Every structure is written in structure tokens, then in C-alpha cells.
Structure 1
Amino acid sequence: MHRTLTRRAAVLVAVSVVTGASGLSACGSESSNQPSAGGKVAITVTGQPPSSQAVERKIFDADVAEFEKLNPDIDVVAHEGFMDPKTFSAKLAGGQLEDVYYVYFTDPANIIARRQAADITDHIKDMAVIKQLQPALLDIFKDRNGKIYGLPTANYSMGLLYNRALFTKAGLDPDTPPTTWAEVRTAAQKISALGNGTVGFADLSKNNQGGWHLVTWAYAMGSQIAKQEGEKWTADFNNDKVKEALRLLKEMRWTDNAMGDKQLLEATDVQRLMGAGQLGMYLGAPDNVPVLVKEFKGKYEDYGVAAMPGGQGTLLGGEGYMINPKASPEKIKAGLKWIDWKYLAPDRIEQRVKQYLDEKQPIGLPAVPTPDIYTGDTRARQAELKTRNANVPEQNFASYLDGNTKLKGNLEPPNAQQIYAALDNVMQGVLTNKDANVDQLLSEAEAKVNSALAQVK
């Protein structure tokens, strides 16, 4: 499975825990441009799942073995973990950055500007899959001149994750989830009225995750977080649209009492509540669902995901791979062959589905086990394979897929983590203080965000 939203949330506070081992064990890529014994090209790659994700680790390691068998002139040296923005530049400067390295969609612009990735434009001219990738995703890895420095391998968009079982108990139709924020509020009230500690709606508010979700709210209301004029970025969220989102949260929390008394929540808190059947709704994406089942003893049939209510927009995120700028042409070629085969090749979609079936993993969730990054014939074939092999109720996610075709997808803002930290205070204020001054909270956050944006190069 690709990185779940649990991992995306956890990376906001603990990415160094995941990737620290990678940084310590990485061999010096600057000095690794020499071929391996026997004339082989050795490439170091990130992306090996941690041992705690046993199935994902097994599939990854099996893929490495198969790839090396198909390409006997390439040795793949896998490093556990993904990316730690705090140590990235130091690893590059110290010659410890892997030849092929993982990035979030928030990273490529700065990496390209700092010349921390290899230009792969000429190397991918003959890669057939390029024409099947969504152009908007490929654009994330381009510079202003159209040169390409990396490839997208997965994407996601936020939606409304809801408990179908609680919807039914509350007299709501689980097949017609809320499409407006007024409907979300009404549903939250009815679910909370069930009693026994049931919470209608929950949201995150600490460890940068509150800020991450406030960005999601802003996009859902049709606002932006930051705007660029020339080379300068400035905050763009202290407006009526974001204030409306905070008003809605405040009313669900304090007027309706539909969000429960316990606040200062993070991802695992809301997942635990949902898995225990005590939470009606929260903002998330379909890749939360396997976490609810595997880690919190939920059932696939009890969950659904709808598109972000309101019809305005949503937060779009994702991941991809770039190549060390110090890599030799031979390593670049080998690295691209690995990225293409492991993450992109359309002719491996069926194999990936079979791997998941063999391991009794879910088939039928959006983006799992194959990413929703394609267009045209590849996308159609992918959808047909997933439908034919589905072992979870695909219809529970139909409104998410249908609705997303009408929403504007917005990437995370530059210097996202610093912005999220500043916006945490806004979410905390609204959810923990009945008399919170929203204007003051937004003004204080605006000053901090502008300071963070001033550092964007």
C-alpha cells in the first residue's frame, strides 16, 4: 500500500523517526558512482516500508528481487524510510543522499530551485508511461522552462470519511452522504444525539495536524492559503471564507456539542474513535480505511468516503521520486528504470492487484493498490481490474470519486510545516475556547505565516 494518510499525518511530527534509520545507514552516494563488482550499476533507493508494515515490506522486497532478476546489470540497495525535510540538505551535502529519493508534492519546487535533483528530461523521452500520467501531476516536477526533475508515483485528495453504521442508526442514508456543510452539521447533531459518548464530527488541532486540516478547510471553502506575486509569497487566508469555516467548527463544537468535550486531537485519536464505532465523520481520504480496519478493528463495510462538501475545492497531495544531482548517467538510467517498473508501468497493474489479493489486502479502495495518477486507456484498464477483483464494497466510495471530478485540487502551500504550526493555534483556539476571538487568532497566524513564506526561495 502507498503511504497512508496516517503516515502523512505522522510525518508532520515524526518523520525523522521513520527516516532516521535511512539517514544513518545510507552509504555515501557521492562516492558511489563507481560500478559494482562485475560491471553492475548499484543504486541506493528510499521507500522501503518499515518492518512494522509487514505486508508492504514483503511486497517491496519481493519487487526488488524480481527487478534485479529482470535487470541483472543493476543492484538495488534499498533504504528503509521516505523523506525527512530536516535532514535532506545535510544528507545531500554530506554525500549520503540516496540515488533515488522519495519526495512529497510540497518538495519538488524548492528542490529544483536549489539544484538538488538531476534533470531527467532527456532520459525519459522514450518512457511510454509519461504520456499516460496526469499532466497536472507531472507539472509538479517541472521547472519554469519545462525541464523535468522527477516523476509522480501516487496522489490523494481529502474528503469526508464517515461511519455508515452510525449514519443508519441516526436515521441518515449512508448511500447519500452530506454534500454541503449544512448537511454535515445536521448529520453531526443527529449522530451525537445517539448518546453513549458518540461524537458526530471530530477534527485535529495539534502537532501541525490542526494546521494541515485548516488548510483543507480553507480549500473546501474556496479560499487559498498563500498567493504568489512575482517572486514573493504572502498569506491569503484571513478572509470571510476561512472565517466561515471556523464559525461552522465553533458552532458544531460549542452550540451543538457535536464534537465532544475532548479536543487537542491528532490522527490516531480520531481513527481510534472511528474504529470503535464512536465517531460519525472526520476529514480524511480513502487510504485511512485500511488503517481503521487493521489497527483499530473496524469493518470495511462500515465506512464510506464522500467528496469534500461544498463543491469548491479540496487538498491534493501525493508523492514521487527524484534523482540525486550527483548521480552518474548510468545511475540515472538505472534509477529511472526502477521508478518506472516499480511504481508506474501500466503492464504491472494486474500484478500489483494479484499481490494484494494473495496477501488478503483490500482491493476496491481509491488509489489502493495502484495509484490514481493515470489518464486514458491505462486509467480505464486500472478501474476495470480493480472492479473485477474488488473484495471491499466499492460503492462506499463512489460519491468520493464522482465528486472529485468537480472539485478544484489545491496543493499544500510552500513551507507547509511552518504554516501548519502557525495554524495549529487557530484550530486549538476555536475548539478549546468558547469565547475565542477568531479575528485575533487569524491575524496572529497571518503574521507567522508571512514570516514562514518570506523564507521561500
Structure 2
Amino acid sequence: MKKSLLGFIVMTICALMITSFSFSGCKEAEEGVVEEVVEETTEEAVEEEVIEVVEGEIPGILNMPEQIAGGRPVAITVAGTPPESQPVLLAAWEEKAARFKELYPNVIIIGSDYTYTPDSFAALVAGNQVPTTFQVYLTDPGMMIDQGVPADLTSIFEAQGLDEVFNPGLLSTVTRDGKIYGIPFSAYTMGLVYNISMLKDAGFDGPPTTWDELVTMAEALTDRDAGVAGFSFCTGGGNEIGWHATIIAIDYAGFQNSDVAIEQADGTYMAGFDNDAMLDTLNFIKELRWTNDVLPRELLGWGANGEAIALERAAMAVMAGDQFRWIKETYPDADMDNLAFAPLPLGPEGVSVSLGGGDIYMISAEATPDQIEAATYFRLWDKLDPGEIIARFEAGSKDPTTVVGFPQYPVYIGQFQDALATLEQEYANLPVENYKAYMDAVIAGDVRVMTEGQVKFQEYYGLITTIVSTIVTVEDTDVAALLTEAASTYQTNILDLIGVEEVEEE
């Protein structure tokens, strides 16, 4: 079986000479998946090499085949290459593609800077222009699989033993009837970001652990004269408002993602989010705005919510861990050392729940078997080869726009994840110690992670967005009436059309 040169170097002498190497690598690329097309990779081959791993060294877990596509010429289109505005990372990506071509001269890699959005991707599917490899949100694999968009990667995952490498919770989101259709590559969870000095100056030793504490602290931290809100979350803009409202509902009132679209015995779905948990949450949001007066008085989208924290216009906020990266990139003068991350306040069952999301690589089912094999191995090699991992960190350390160390949900498990986390800390340019309590709670299971729903969830978010924006701008909003109307619209215009659209397209 073939190992890349960099991977071999790292596994044999990395512990002694890692600092003396200069690698050119790439930012994370984008997709991979595979059909049952690779007979060269066998389970026996995976077991043929036992690697001794030094603490902190990335273990070699991927056995690359001697040939891809039987040596036949094959071209793949790889979406998500760095744009020209990031020349350091773009050059590193091109160097990475060249390294892969050295391993497999018959593979031609065509980069594309296409960035996934649900609407634009639907147009690509309709026009039969889906790249060989592409990215989708963690909410979307179910829909993609239903439509037959991604290829089946099960054979390669099984031959390589990757089900013992990837976090099973994430892998389950791309698995259907025992078959694997995607490669998780990034994941985040929601939490509570807070300004350390603001809390300390107000007499608080740490963040709130209950929602009652949050309200009390937010009232004390709110200073209208100084333009500071005690608590913030997304209230106006796109679907992120419904996203934030949903995680608050999960923690505050015990709402469940399964409440959104309840599958019936005949395979149809019934809208179920017009329930007590969601109604209680929306009324709680109304109280935060009009009774407690602790929220920003302007509507905030995803960016504005992060800006409020970065510019110290909010003392606490609901936020996903990966937004620390955005804050540092967008507001380089922000005092990142003064921002910490904590679990969201405990819910009705006495536990904190975090809504998870992220991104998945997939391979087009319309690609040829040779393309599927090449694209899958390119993505797996990029993410799992020790040399490529270090090359990526090295390239990032030379690029001023790269941020390392923000809190992420572990994509992998076991020795590989431990070594990767250790390496990330070495390259971190964020205060990882400020996120340690949160990450420890997630890893220990003290924070229960719930994945986003996969049945028309973006459409559901959009409807909740409208309700929340109305609540925080119109004081006498009839919350119950809006919620009932939204559920009815979701049923009629969204759920009842599942399957109908596919028949019409045929």
C-alpha cells in the first residue's frame, strides 16, 4: 500500500525533527466519498502495518492504494479551493494538489472556488453541473441522499476501518441503511460566550448555569447609557435567527428537534413545533426584550451578534464555537483573551444541551467509478495523512488570515483525535484555555450534543425567524397566533410537498 512521502517522514522522525521541516500545505479542501469501486484496498491491507505512536504525533491510519482508477487517466473537479483573495492558502492548495499528482500521475485535479449554499447547489443539481467533490451543511445529507445526489462510500470506509476513526455521532448523519455517503470534516456546537471582565466588574465569578441566573445577571450587566446589552442572540436577518431560537428552546423548555417534523406511519410528516415548549420559549424571548429589557434593541443577524461581543456591546451571547474564528478575522483588535466560552444554562432535565452543526464532504453519484475513487482518496488523504495535516498547519501559520484554536466539536475519536488536538494547541493563535471548561464538558458528555434536524429544517428556521423578529420589534405580538400560523404554513407549503416535487421533476 502507498504512503505519501510527507506521511512517511512524519511517522518516522516527526517527534525529533518536526520543527526543522518547512511544509507548504493547504486550507481544508472539500469533499470526498466513494462507491464500491476499490478492490485494491482490502481489510488485510489496513491491518498489515502496526504503527507505534509517540505522544502528540499524528498516527498514520490511512493506507493509500498503489493505484487509483487502475492507472487510467481521470479528472476530478474539487469545489472549495481558496479564493485569489487568500494567495498564501491558494498557493498551498496548488502545492498540495501537485503532491497528490506525484503520488498518482494519472489523476488530474481541477480546482473550483464554488462555495456551497442550498439554493445555488439546487441549481447545479438541476443543470447536471455538480462538482465531483462538494460540501454540504450537516443539516442537508438526508435531503441529498433522498435525491440520490451523493455516491456510496461504504466500501472504502470499511476497508480502511474509518468507522473507528470518525466520531460516530457525526458519521451517523451521513449514514442511511448501513451505507455511508459522506465524510464529516468540521463540526461546531453552540454555547454561551461571555466577556470575562464585564462579569467580574459586575461581581460575578463566572457565567450563569441556569436561565434564572442568566436573566438576573443580564439585568445587572445591561447598561443602556453605555450601549451595553446584558444578553444577545440573533434576532433579525436570515435563518440563523430560527437556529438560535431553537437552541434556546431546547435548553430553556426541553424542545426536541424531532418535534419539528414528526414522521407518520405512512412516511409523511406532520408539523409539530406548535407545542408548549416552543410557545414557552417564544414568550420567554418576549419577556427578555420587553420586561427584563436585556436584549439589544436593534435586530441582530449572525455577524451583528458576533460584532456586539467583539466590540463589547453585549456581555453574554448565544454563539457557535467557530464564530471565535470570525471575530478574530473580522475584528483583529478585539481582546480575544477577554472572551470565554461556557455551556448554555441547564435545561428542565438539569443538563445543558448544545445544538451541533457543521460541514460534510460528498462525492457526486453522477461521477464515474474512477472519479469517485480518485475524489474520495484525495479528500481522505488531505484530512488524514499526517504529513498533510502538518502541512496545513504550517501553511496556516504563514497566512495572517488563518485562525487556529477556536472550540470545535471533535470530528474524530481516539488516538487520532487526541494527537490532532495536541497539534492544534501548538499552532493556536486563540486562548484555548478560555474554552477548556466548555470543551471538557462536551468531551465528558456533561453537555449533551443534539444534531440539527434533516427534514426541511432550513425552511423551519425561516418561519421561526419571522416570529422572533416580530416579537422583539412589536411589543404586543400575539405569540401563540404567530406560532400556529407558522406551523400551518410549514405543513401546507413544505411538508405536504415532500415527494410531490420529486414526482414533478421526473
The question of a shared fold, defined as TM-score above 0.5 by the shorter chain, is answered with yes
Identity value in percent: 29
Contact preservation (8 Å) 1:158, 1:285: yes
Q: Partner of 1:214 in structure 2?
A: 245
Output the amino acid matched with 1:270: N
Residue 241 and residue 251 in structure 1: after superposition, are their counterparts in 2 closer, same or farther (change >3 A)?
same
Deviation, 1:378, is 1.0
Q: Establish whether residue 200 from structure 1 lines up as the match of residue 230 from structure 2.
A: yes
1:320, 1:74 → 2: CA distance?
A: 23
Deviation, 1:184, is 1.8
Residue 61 and residue 244 in structure 1: after superposition, are their counterparts in 2 closer, same or farther (change >3 A)?
farther
Contact preservation (8 Å) 1:157, 1:317: yes
| Match of residue 315, structure 1, among 337, 355, 372 | 355
Q: Partner of 1:455 in structure 2?
A: 497
Which consecutive residues of structure 1, in runs of 5 or more, have no partner in the other structure? 4-34
Q: CA RMSD in A?
A: 2.6
2:201, 2:105 → 1: CA distance?
A: 58
Deviation, 1:201, is 1.4
Contact preservation (8 Å) 1:315, 1:412: no
Output the amino acid matched with 1:277: E
Deviation, 1:56, is 4.8
Deviation, 1:80, is 0.7
Residue 428 and residue 146 in structure 1: after superposition, are their counterparts in 2 closer, same or farther (change >3 A)?
same
Q: Partner of 2:463 in structure 1?
A: 422
Which consecutive residues of structure 2, in runs of 5 or more, have no partner in the other structure? 1-26, 30-67, 500-506
Output the amino acid matched with 1:384: T
Q: Partner of 2:319 in structure 1?
A: 284
| Match of residue 418, structure 2, among 368, 380, 395 | 380
Output the amino acid matched with 1:182: D
Q: Establish whether residue 185 from structure 1 lines up as the match of residue 223 from structure 2.
A: no
1:366, 1:203 → 2: CA distance?
A: 18
Q: How does 1:313-352 map to 2 (within 5 A)?
A: 313-345=353-385, 348-352=388-392
Output the amino acid matched with 1:272: E
Residue 392 of structure 1: SS of its match in structure 2? coil
Q: How does 1:20-419 map to 2 (within 5 A)?
A: 40-53=73-86, 56-143=89-176, 145-173=177-205, 176-193=206-223, 195-204=225-234, 205-221=236-252, 222-224=254-256, 225-230=260-265, 231-262=267-298, 264-296=299-331, 297-310=333-346, 311-345=351-385, 348-359=388-399, 361-367=402-408, 372-404=410-442, 405-406=445-446, 407-419=448-460
Deviation, 1:137, is 1.4
Contact preservation (8 Å) 1:219, 1:312: no
Q: Partner of 2:473 in structure 1?
A: 432
Output the amino acid matched with 1:79: S
Q: Deviations over 1:235-275 (max 9, x none)?
A: 2322232233223322221122211322x221121222222
1:345, 1:289 → 2: CA distance?
A: 27
Residue 260 of structure 1: SS of its match in structure 2? coil
Q: Deviations over 1:266-299 (max 9, x none)?
A: 1121222222121112211221112212212312
Q: Deviations over 1:107-148 (max 9, x none)?
A: 2212212222222222333224442101221122122x2122
Q: Report the more deviating stretch, 294-303 or 341-350.
A: 341-350
Q: Considering only CA atoms, is the larger Rg found in Structure 1 or Structure 2?
A: 2
Deviation, 1:398, is 1.8
2:120, 2:424 → 1: CA distance?
A: 38
Output the amino acid matched with 1:192: T
Q: How many positions carry a matched residue from both structures?
A: 418
Deviation, 1:331, is 0.7
Residue 298 of structure 1: SS of its match in structure 2? coil
Residue 123 of structure 1: SS of its match in structure 2? helix
1:391, 1:268 → 2: CA distance?
A: 21
TM-score computed with the length of structure 2 as normaliser: 0.76
Residue 322 of structure 2: SS of its match in structure 1? helix
Residue 315 of structure 2: SS of its match in structure 1? strand
Deviation, 1:46, is 1.0
Deviation, 1:415, is 1.4
Residue 194 and residue 171 in structure 1: after superposition, are their counterparts in 2 closer, same or farther (change >3 A)?
farther
1:216, 1:54 → 2: CA distance?
A: 37
Deviation, 1:183, is 2.0
Deviation, 1:307, is 1.8
Deviation, 1:59, is 4.3
Deviation, 1:447, is 1.0
Q: Report the more deviating stretch, 71-80 or 229-238.
A: 229-238
Contact preservation (8 Å) 1:415, 1:456: no
1:442, 1:293 → 2: CA distance?
A: 37
Deviation, 1:388, is 4.1
With a CA cutoff of 8 Å and minimum separation of 6, indicate the structure with the bigger relative contact order.
2
Contact preservation (8 Å) 1:47, 1:81: yes
Contact preservation (8 Å) 2:89, 2:399: no
1:63, 1:57 → 2: CA distance?
A: 10
Q: Deviations over 1:365-409 (max 9, x none)?
A: 223xxx721111112212222334444321211232133323141
TM-score computed with the length of structure 1 as normaliser: 0.84
Q: Report the more deviating stretch, 226-235 or 183-192.
A: 226-235
2:308, 2:357 → 1: CA distance?
A: 25
Q: Deviations over 1:387-436 (max 9, x none)?
A: 34444321211232133323141313421222122111210122112222
Residue 228 and residue 52 in structure 1: after superposition, are their counterparts in 2 closer, same or farther (change >3 A)?
farther
Contact preservation (8 Å) 2:141, 2:454: no
